[in-house]
């Protein structure tokens, strides 16, 4: 029986060429699996059906499209919001969050079709190969993973030629300057002039953050137990909230990131991102936590957040440490309920104007300096004395030693 390989298929040049390459080099049947994680397929003027047709044209025996937009939002973006996740303090893990979703479906399809291997179109230089492979090994250690683009040694021009030779229609791919990965959580842009860290990031690859409005936009985001549930009192699914917040924030030019980051494979890389929805939701959520989290829990959480982001970036979505930190994060979220008011000022500025919560630990009576003050001022004296006792003892000792020495 011919082996079956399930390929993570995007419809782009590399994965289309990979279909044919796998048939040629592994004598296998290729099942193309395209996972909709909220990427706009219309930026290339294509819909999922066209992508499916291309997979067939490239030689796939099956081409499956899976709608995972809500799954991406609820099972991946929600935990990322809970962890206020930004790798190296900046990047909200756009690509890193979508790979485990894709892996999960690849493995499920591999089981359904009785495949012996999964394949992906990543090169050897990036993080996505790590996420595909470590993720697959976590979920299905028995499956092989094949990475044609790491093996074939073709340049982009070679791939274009290869596609032409096999009559694989490749759309816009020939003229593509940037490598772009996108999903519900935002867009990651690499290559071209961006590879010069000194060069100003070009405007043309941005699509979500072009300023189209000169007016301020004020919005209230509501959370229940850490999950965004409404925008301006309109209850929406998480996926729709991400879209709505992203669309409005993006129209004011908010949401761009320009950074040099450390890839897992040891390369520093200059990348630009646009993630208006992700950045606004994380900022709002983190602000609400200031109001609702008990101090020690909050401080510990701030220490674990970068670790969570790092694990996810490094392809450890399905790993025991990530699971354990998730449990901590989940337990902190039970009290993160309330509203945050944001103001977007074009071009590109966001301010948090206010926050409120029925579970706030903020106590006006304790905080106020006016007559409604309920704070017991007499308690402060003894507390501060004991708080400083160790330092006072140390200082007195220093002084007496200095005096003894002179
Ligand atoms: N550097 C980012 C990350 O590792 C973005 C990767 C984008 N992926 C891509 N295939 N263009 O998460």
Question: pLDDT for 109-123, tens place per residue?
Answer: 999 999 999 999 999
Question: Active-site residue among 36, 128, 181, 339?
Answer: 128
Is 290 catalytic? The answer is no
Distance CA 201, CA 366 (A): 48
Phi, psi of 343 (to 5 degrees): -125, 130
Contact status, residue 252 vs residue 213, Cβ threshold 8 Å: yes
Is 112 catalytic? The answer is no
Distance (angstroms) between ligand 1 centre and the Cα of 143 equals: 24
Q: How many residues does the chain have?
A: 406
Name which residue sits closest to atom 10 of ligand 1, judged by CA: 181
What integer is the mean pLDDT of 261-275?
Answer: 98
Distance CA 47, CA 250 (A): 23
What integer is the mean pLDDT of 347-352?
Answer: 98
What the block records as the tokens of 85 is 């996740």
Q: Best substitution site from 122, 125, 127 to test ligand 1's pocket, by max atoms within 8 Å of Cβ? A: 127
Distance (angstroms) between ligand 1 centre and the Cα of 402 equals: 59
pLDDT, tens digit (0-9, with 9 covering 90-100), for 4-63: 999 999 999 999 999 999 999 999 999 999 999 999 865 555 799 999 999 999 999 999
Task: Reduce the DSSP state of residue 71 to 3 states and report it.
Answer: helix
Phi, psi of 316 (to 5 degrees): -100, 35
What the block records as the tokens of 374 is 């309920």
pLDDT band at 176 (very low <50, low <70, confident <90, very high): confident
Task: Reduce the DSSP state of residue 65 to 3 states and report it.
Answer: strand
Question: Active-site residue among 179, 213, 237, 319?
Answer: 179
Distance CA 34, CA 110 (A): 13
Residues whose beta carbon lies within 6 Å of some atom of ligand 1: 95-96, 126-128, 179, 181, 188, 190, 271
What separation in angstroms does the CA of 391 have from each of 150, 228, 283, 403? 60, 45, 37, 18
Q: Best substitution site from 15, 181, 264, 309 to test ligand 1's pocket, by max atoms within 8 Å of Cβ? A: 181
Give the 3-state secondary structure percentages of the chain, helix then strand then coil, rounded to 5: 50, 20, 30
Is 128 catalytic? The answer is yes
- Higher local confidence (pLDDT), 331 or 405: 331
Q: End-to-end CA distance of the chain, in Å? A: 93
What integer is the mean pLDDT of 367-379?
Answer: 95
Instruction: Provide the total of helices (H) and of strands (E) in the chain, helices listed first.
Output: 15, 14
Which among 284, 8, 320, 327 is positioned nearest to 148, based on CA atoms?
Answer: 8
Q: What pLDDT, on a 0 to 100 scale, did the predictor assign at position 170? A: 83
Is 216 catalytic? The answer is no
Q: Best substitution site from 90, 188, 275, 316 to test ligand 1's pocket, by max atoms within 8 Å of Cβ? A: 188
What the block records as the tokens of 397 is 């000792």
To the nearest 10°, report the CA torsion of 90, 95, 101, 107. -140
pLDDT band at 311 (very low <50, low <70, confident <90, very high): very high
Contact status, residue 77 vs residue 92, Cβ threshold 8 Å: no
Q: What pLDDT, on a 0 to 100 scale, did the predictor assign at position 171? A: 72
Q: What pLDDT, on a 0 to 100 scale, did the predictor assign at position 51? A: 94
What integer is the mean pLDDT of 374-385?
Answer: 96
Distance CA 48, CA 33 (A): 11
Global pTM reads 0.96
């Amino acid at each position: 029986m011919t082996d079956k390989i399930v390929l993570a298929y995007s419809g782009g040049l590399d994965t289309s060429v990979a279909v044919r390459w796998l048939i040629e080099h592994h004598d296998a049947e290729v099942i193309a699996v395209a996972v909709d994680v909220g990427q706009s397929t219309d930026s290339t003027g294509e819909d999922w059906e066209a992508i499916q047709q291309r997979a067939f044209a490239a030689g796939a025996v099956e081409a499956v499209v899976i709608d995972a937009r809500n799954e991406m939002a609820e099972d991946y973006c929600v935990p990322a919001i809970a962890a206020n996740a930004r790798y190296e303090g900046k990047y909200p893990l756009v690509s890193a969050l979508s790979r485990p979703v894709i892996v999960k479906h690849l493995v499920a399809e591999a089981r359904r079709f009785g495949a012996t291997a999964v394949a992906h179109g990543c090169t050897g230089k990036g993080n996505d190969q790590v996420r595909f492979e470590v993720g697959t090994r976590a979920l299905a250690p028995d499956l092989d993973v094949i990475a044609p683009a790491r093996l074939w040694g073709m340049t982009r021009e070679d791939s274009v030629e290869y596609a032409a030779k096999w009559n694989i229609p490749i759309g816009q791919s020939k003229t593509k300057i940037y490598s772009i990965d996108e999903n519900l959580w935002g867009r990651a842009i690499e290559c071209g002039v961006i590879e010069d860290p000194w060069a100003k990031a070009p405007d043309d690859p941005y699509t979500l953050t072009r300023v189209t409005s000169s007016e301020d936009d004020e919005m209230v985001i509501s959370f229940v137990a850490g999950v965004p549930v409404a925008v301006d009192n309109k209850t929406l699914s998480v996926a729709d909230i991400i879209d709505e917040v992203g669309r409005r924030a993006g129209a004011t030019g908010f949401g761009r990131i320009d950074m040099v980051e450390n890839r897992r494979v040891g390369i520093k890389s200059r990348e630009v991102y646009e993630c208006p929805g992700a950045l606004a939701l994380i900022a709002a959520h983190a602000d609400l936590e200031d109001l609702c989290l008990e101090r020690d829990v909050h401080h510990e959480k701030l220490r674990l957040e970068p670790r969570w982001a790092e694990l996810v970036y490094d392809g450890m979505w399905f790993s025991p440490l990530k699971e354990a930190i998730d449990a901590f994060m989940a337990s902190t979220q039970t009290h993160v309920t309330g509203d945050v008011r944001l103001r977007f000022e074009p071009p590109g500025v966001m301010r948090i104007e206010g926050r409120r919560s029925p579970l706030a630990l903020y106590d006006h009576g304790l905080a106020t300096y006016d007559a409604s003050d309920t704070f017991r001022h007499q308690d402060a004296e003894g507390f501060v004395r004991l708080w400083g006792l160790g330092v006072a003892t140390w200082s007195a000792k220093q002084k007496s030693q200095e005096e003894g020495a002179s």
